[in-house]
Amino acid sequence: MRHLIDPLDFTLEETTKVLDLADRIAENPEVYSHVADGKKIATLFYEPSTRTRLSFESAMLSLGGKALGFAGAEQSSATKGETVADTARVVSCYADIIAMRHPKEGAPLRASMYATVPVINAGDGGHNHPTQTLIDLMTIRQRKGHLDHLTVGFCGDLKFGRTVHSLVNSLVRHPGNEFYFISPEELKIPDYVVEETLKPNQSFYKEVTSLEETLPKLDVLYMTRVQKERFFNEEDYVRLKDTYILNQEKLNLAQPDMPVLHPLPRVDEIATDVDQDPRAAYFDQVQNGKYIRMALIMALLEVPDPLTGRTVL
Amino acid sequence: MRHLIDPLDFTLEETTKVLDLADRIAENPEVYSHVADGKKIATLFYEPSTRTRLSFESAMLSLGGKALGFAGAEQSSATKGETVADTARVVSCYADIIAMRHPKEGAPLRASMYATVPVINAGDGGHNHPTQTLIDLMTIRQRKGHLDHLTVGFCGDLKFGRTVHSLVNSLVRHPGNEFYFISPEELKIPDYVVEETLKPNQSFYKEVTSLEETLPKLDVLYMTRVQKERFFNEEDYVRLKDTYILNQEKLNLAQPDMPVLHPLPRVDEIATDVDQDPRAAYFDQVQNGKYIRMALIMALLEVPDPLTGRTVL
Amino acid sequence: MRHLIDPLDFTLEETTKVLDLADRIAENPEVYSHVADGKKIATLFYEPSTRTRLSFESAMLSLGGKALGFAGAEQSSATKGETVADTARVVSCYADIIAMRHPKEGAPLRASMYATVPVINAGDGGHNHPTQTLIDLMTIRQRKGHLDHLTVGFCGDLKFGRTVHSLVNSLVRHPGNEFYFISPEELKIPDYVVEETLKPNQSFYKEVTSLEETLPKLDVLYMTRVQKERFFNEEDYVRLKDTYILNQEKLNLAQPDMPVLHPLPRVDEIATDVDQDPRAAYFDQVQNGKYIRMALIMALLEVPDPLTGRTVL
């Protein structure tokens, strides 16, 4: 039995197979509409996340299955002191697969050690969010045709943005990718990403502060939220905020086929005038999120793909 | 693609067609039990409302479809600052139709401008609640056989009662209806209903304070909750409260076929001894609520009616 | 129409039939996977309980049906002052069966008086929790082969533990059962259980304080949580707590086939080293919980058992 806790739990080959299946689902959703008939997903969300929870539930429903679960810790047995290990064992009796979101790092890993059904990490604290990484990869591949030899810019809060760290971890597995990290000093990419990921892979990377100067060089731009509470003082926030907002004017500096990604929700770091630009790929990411989760549920439940007759992992 | 945001979004003819379909569903529910197989409704409830949310979900399930969603703002991405526009776009990737309840007037309208699937307003602040209006019309027509030439009394909180305003707006589209507005001075029908709806339609209406004196004149009685917090002081509330409570004794003054409607939940404005009276129509409204929402989902999803072979709008 | 409010609502013969059906479901779940197609359960949980709510929903989904409901009072119409009677009538229009959890004793009984569909009590305050009792019976019978002539030990909080009282009530209906009540003075079995259940049935029982001394005598051990807040002072809690914790060392004193039951969630009253012991039956209880609820839904909805062609009650 396989789980998905860390984006790197899948080998490069396995990841490619999941992305391929997600592409096939995107093209022929009706072929897959009954492959998980009678199966149940439990969405155990110890902190709210509409987008992610609904995406998992919609994915299972779109495969013919059903969903049950809870949407916040106050609805869970955690309030009665139950451990994640016990909850995992209990819910394994109710569902065929579990998607767990938890504010504490490592909780889904612990759940996977006790569950008797596959567990998907739907985000644990500032740590991992592997389905988001798969979505990002699918969307980049869809837009650019490949995942290697790309110049990728990451902009905004690169310190706390777990989706950034996970995506870098995955992109270094492909040859020739180069990275620009665009952020204020306060929010720059952590040392451990540099030391543990970029240097060992001999990846080219550069830390810069200007979005406008970097934009023309990029094949892909990955935006993130800059949260006010990350700054030491109001002044710094106000001074820096606009620098890391993407609007149509700045986007005019970019290549005509440079997709703009964002894990959403956004607040104001991408102006709404960008939404109509064909380079805006963040709503594609939402749609792809459903397909990735459908592919993942099929992979972990070992449901054969009707188009190939084979299971994916 | 059509939405339902305001009860008047549907022409009189369209409204009649939806009511007709709801009647057919009520008579032959099993005929419709698979017409929406594989379809999904998202119930986005930014404030709790068991009745309305469960009614929408039950409606979709009764058509063969599935439901997902959230039951309170604290479960939504709104807490992370996401706009209703973005949420609408995102949820359009997960569901085939959206039912939205929101404390802010206009939120469902805004959602409908960005969603790529039909949006139903399930209540926005003190503004609109169009499915309730359709339910009220269906129930009156069921009981009286027609929607014209009726003397309709509205009793209680006519100032803040959005279901009252919407029903008046719909009833003036039928000829010969007359209105009695029975309320304390503090809670009388707002001027804009008089100026914008009643006068332009040359509808007969009368504002009165006594329920008992008015009851014998009515073909239909529509009760509403009188909430303590609407009054300036406790004294006024205590003095007036009982006047606007319907009990069996007062009901004896009414015509033998005068249906009593109430949008529910009720607190004590209708005594429970009235529940057994055949004129009590408020639990019929609940049952009709499911049929109306089934009809509406079919109409907006353009599902053909198996009995006529045609879509309803 | 039948409801299940009190474990004793079912005669001994009816209870046995439900347990028999649950056993058949456990052996052939796929035979039952479509018997409730198109049916809907409403889970009305006025206080959170993941385990119980998800178990009911999973049970209905596993029979082919669907689920809707709410997971906490703040999501219900109770916040608007609606009575349980009105909610029961309303939800009867949306679902074919209701499972209700309520902090107030008697609320599910009251709901059953107004609902037009079967109501299952999913726990009302410190009062009843009849599905738990059926689960306990099923698990004991599974492990011991019979429900009579057993020496059953109950350990921990016997004062407030409603599942203990209910199980005693059921076990005295079988001949020859003997009871050991193992608890600190503060938490001993209430007088009314002794006076109303044990004495009238002339059941042998003994109140003791030592788990270790009693263990060798037992055929079955039923553990419960000892909650800190039940004690008058911290000192007593600390002094007594460990006495009523079961660990592998103490378990070595017990018979080799003595099942250990616990209604869960546990906090630390059963050490996790016990989990691997074959006598640990508490995760079996969870699995049985789903089967019992499947059997119960079939029984109350009068769905014929495909294996016997007959309804169960």
DSSP codes joined into one string, A40-105? EEEEEESS--HHHHHHHHHHHHHTT-EEEEESSGGGSGGGGT--HHHHHHHHTTT-SEEEEEESST
Q: Is the pLDDT of residue C78 over 70?
A: no
A102 is known to lie in a ligand binding site: no
Among C277, C279, C165, smallest CA distance to C221 is for C279
Over residues C276-294, the mean pLDDT reads 98
- Nearest CA distance, A141 vs chain B (angstrom): 20
Q: Which residues of A touch B (CB under 8 A)?
A: 33, 48-51, 54-55, 57-58, 61-62, 66-67, 71-72, 264-267, 272, 283, 286-287, 289-290
The residues facing B180 across adjacent strands are: B153, B206
Which residues pair with residue B154 across a beta bridge?
B181, B222
Compute the Cα dihedral for C73, C76, C77, C83 and give only its sign. negative
Residue B310 lies in a domain: no
Name beta bridge partners: B179. B152, B205
How are strands ordered across the β-sheet holding B119-124?
B66-70, B40-45, B97-102, B119-124
pLDDT over 80 at C241, yes or no:
no
Please, is B203 exposed, middle or buried when counting C-beta atoms within 10 Å of its C-beta (0-12, 13-18, 19+)? middle
Q: What is the DSSP letter of C190?
A: P
Cβ neighbours of residue A266 closer than 8 Å, sequence gap 6 or more: A223, A225, A282, B82, B86
List, in sequence order, every residue forming a beta bridge with C180; answer none if it has no partner: C153, C206
C42 lies in the same domain as C62: yes
Which two three-digit tokens encode residue B258?
Answer: 């005068």
Check whether C133 has a pLDDT greater than 90. yes
Q: Which residues of A touch B71 (CB under 8 A)?
A: 71
SS3 track for A206-230: EEECCHHHHHHHCCEEEECCCCHHH
Q: Is C265 annotated as a binding residue?
A: yes
Helical segments of chain B, H only: 12-27, 50-62, 84-91, 107-114, 130-144, 162-171, 191-193, 211-214, 234-241, 248-251, 282-300
* ipTM at complex level: 0.94
Are C61 and A68 a contacting pair at CB < 8 A?
Answer: yes
The bridge status of strand C40-45 relative to strand C66-70 is parallel
Q: Is residue B37 part of a domain?
A: yes
Q: Which of B171, B241, B179 is nearest to B205 (CA)?
A: B179
* B31 and B109 belong to one structural domain: yes
Task: Identify the pLDDT of residue A77.
Answer: 65
d(CA B296, CA A156): 44
- Non-local (6+) Cβ contacts of A214 within 8 A are A153, A180, A182, A208
**Are A90 and C264 in contact (CB < 8 Å)?**
yes
Q: What CATH number did the domain enclosing A194 receive?
A: 3.40.50.1370
**Which of A41, A43, A90 to mutate to test binding with chain C, by most C CBs within 10 Å of its CB?**
A90
Residues B61 and B11 in one domain: yes
Residues of chain B contacting C79 with CB distance shorter than 8 Å: 48
Which amino acid is located at A103 in the chain?
Answer: P
- A21 and A59 within one domain: yes
Structure tokens at A247: 């609007």
pLDDT at B73 over 90: no
pLDDT tens for B41-64 read 999 999 888 889 999 999 999 999
- Write out chain B residues lying below 8 Å of C68, CB-based: 54, 57-58, 61, 67
Q: For A153-159, what is the mean pLDDT?
A: 95
The pLDDT confidence band at residue B86, using thresholds 50, 70 and 90, is: very high
Q: Could you tell me the CA-to-CA distances from C115 to A290, B292, C95, C120 in Å, in that order?
A: 39, 22, 10, 11
- Say what percent of chain A tops pLDDT 90: 84
Task: Band the pLDDT of A145: cuts 50, 70, 90.
Answer: very high
When CB atoms are compared, the residue of C33, C55, C67 closest to A38 is: C33
CB atoms under 10 Å from CB of A303, counted, come to 18
Alpha-carbon gap: B143 to the closest alpha carbon of chain A (Å)? 39
**Which is higher by pLDDT, C109 or A126?**
C109
Minimum-distance CB partner of C68 among B33, B54, B72: B54
How far is the C-alpha of B193 from the C-alpha of B197, rounded, in Å?
5
- Residue C3: other Cβ atoms inside 10 A: 21
Token couple for B225: 């909750």
Q: How many residues does chain C have?
A: 313
Q: Are residues B99 and B142 in the same domain?
A: no
Q: Cβ contact (<8 Å) for B264 and C82? A: yes
Please tell me the predicted confidence (pLDDT) of residue B77. 65
Q: Which residues of C touch A53 (CB under 8 A)?
A: none
CB atoms < 10 A from the CB of B207, how many? 14
Range A120-142 burial, b when 16+ CB lie within 10 A, else e = bbbbbeebbbbbbbbbbbbbbbb
What value does the mean pLDDT of chain C take? Answer: 94
On whether residue A270 sits in a domain, the answer given is: yes
Asked if residue C122 and residue C45 are part of one domain, the reply reads yes
C167 shares its domain with C256: yes
Rounded to the nearest angstrom, the minimum Cα separation between A64 and chain B is 7
What pLDDT is attached to residue C100?
97
B100 confidence band (pLDDT: 50, 70, 90): very high
The reply to whether C307 falls in a domain is no
State the DSSP code for B100.
E
User: pLDDT (tens digit, 9 = 90+) per residue, A41-65?
Assistant: 999 999 888 889 999 999 999 999 9
Residues 6+ apart with CB under 8 A from A285: A135, A136, A139, A261, A262, A263, A264
Residues 6+ apart with CB under 8 A from B213: none
DSSP C101: E
Question: How many Cβ pairs within 8 Å bridge chains A and B?
Answer: 66
Residue C170 lies in a domain: yes
One-letter amino acid for residue A303 of the chain: V
Same domain, yes or no, for A113 and A188? no
CB within 8 A of A202, min separation 6: which ones? none
How many other CB atoms sit within 10 Å of the CB of residue A34? Answer: 13
Position C89 pLDDT exceeds 80: yes
For residue B254, what are its two tokens?
């009414």
Q: Are residues A37 and A83 in the same domain?
A: yes
Two structure tokens written together for A228: 């006010």
Range of the domain at A253: 131-282
C-alpha to C-alpha distance for B233 and A268, rounded to whole angstroms: 44
**Residue B306 forms part of a structural domain:** no
Identify the contact set of chain C against chain B, taking CB-CB distances under 8 A.
38, 40, 42, 66, 68-71, 74-77, 79-82, 85-87, 89-91, 93-95
Q: Does any domain span residue C20?
A: yes
Question: What pLDDT score was predicted for residue C77?
Answer: 65
Contacts of residue C151, defined as CB under 8 A and 6 or more positions apart, other chains included, come to C177, C178, C179, C180, C217, C218, C219, C220
DSSP string, B254-303: S-TT--EE--S--SSSB-GGGTTSTTB-HHHHHHHHHHHHHHHHHHHTTP
Q: Are residues C140 and C280 in the same domain?
A: yes
Say if residue B204 is in the same domain as residue B230. Answer: yes
Give the number of other CB atoms < 10 A from CB of residue B30. Answer: 8
Whether pLDDT at C25 is above 80 = yes
pLDDT score at C234: 80
Per residue in B238-294, pLDDT tens? 777 778 999 999 999 999 999 999 999 998 899 999 999 999 999 999 999 999 999
Dihedral of the alpha carbons of C270, C274, C276, C277, in degrees to the nearest 10 = -130
Percent of chain B with pLDDT over 70: 97
- For C159-216, the pLDDT digits (tens) are 988 899 999 999 999 999 999 999 988 899 999 999 999 999 999 999 999 999 999 9
- Quote the pLDDT of residue B164: 95
Task: Write the pLDDT tens digit of every residue in B104-116.
Answer: 999 999 999 999 9
Number of domains observed in the structure of chain A: 2
What proportion of chain B, given as a percentage, has pLDDT over 90?
83
User: Is B87 one of the annotated active-site residues of the chain?
Assistant: no
A119 and A164 part of one domain:
no
Model pLDDT for residues B135-154, shown as the tens digit of each residue: 999 999 999 999 999 999 99
Tell me the helix, strand and coil percentages in chain C, rounded to 5.
45, 15, 40
C216-240 residue pLDDT tens: 999 999 999 887 777 777 887 777 7
**Nearest of C149, C203, C148, C202 to residue C181 by alpha carbon:** C203
pLDDT tens, residue by residue, A220-272: 999 998 877 767 778 877 777 778 999 999 999 999 999 999 999 998 899 99
User: CB count, 10 Å around CB of C284?
Assistant: 17
- Of the candidates B33, B50, B72, the beta carbon closest to that of C77 is on B50
Question: For residue C111, is it within any domain?
Answer: yes
Question: Which of the residues B101, B165, B262, B293 is marked catalytic?
Answer: B101
Q: C185 burial class (0-12, 13-18, 19+ CB within 10 angstroms)?
A: exposed
Give dist(CA C156, CA C166) in Å, integer: 15
Q: Quick one: what percent of chain C has pLDDT higher than 90?
A: 84
Mean pLDDT score of chain B: 94
| pLDDT at residue number C53 | 96
